[in-house]
Amino acid sequence: MEELLNIFTNVLKKFELTNSEIRIYSLLLDEQLTARQIAKRLGLSERIVREKLRHLLELGLVERKLVNRGWIGYIYWAKAPREALKVLLSKMEEIIRSMEKEANKIL
């Protein structure tokens, strides 16, 4: 049972958003920006912004596209809140199904 609780706790941690991630998501709701532009606007280091963007991408809250405008890089934008919520709920449903399978093996 403890093993199942540890799995559940670790999964929930993946869904936690930091204040920086919330600020980045909110900024990207209004416009498409590069990591460098986000860093400048929010007064964060570019390294931190890239780390936070990676987490937001994993959660499905942000999307990106590769661009070549004299430089090669990514432009990021946020999914609309309604769409983002659907993505999160879908991921949570998958996790619940997976945990139910694990629970049935353990119990």
Mean predicted lDDT score pLDDT of the chain? 87
- What is the reported pTM? 0.79
pLDDT of residue 5: 64
pLDDT of residue 10: 67
Q: What is the mean pLDDT of residues 25-34?
A: 95
**Model confidence at 26: pLDDT above 70:** yes
69: helix, strand or coil: coil
64: helix, strand or coil: strand
Element holding 27 (H helix, E strand): helix 19-30
Cα angle vertex 54, ends 49, 56, to 5°?
A: 90
Please, which pLDDT band fits residue 11 given cuts at 50, 70 and 90? low
Please, which pLDDT band fits residue 25 given cuts at 50, 70 and 90? very high
Query: For 70, which DSSP code?
Result: S
Closest CA to 77 of 30, 40, 37: 30
Please, which pLDDT band fits residue 95 given cuts at 50, 70 and 90? confident
If one looks up domain 2-106 in CATH, what number appears? 1.10.10.10
d(CA 83, CA 65): 18
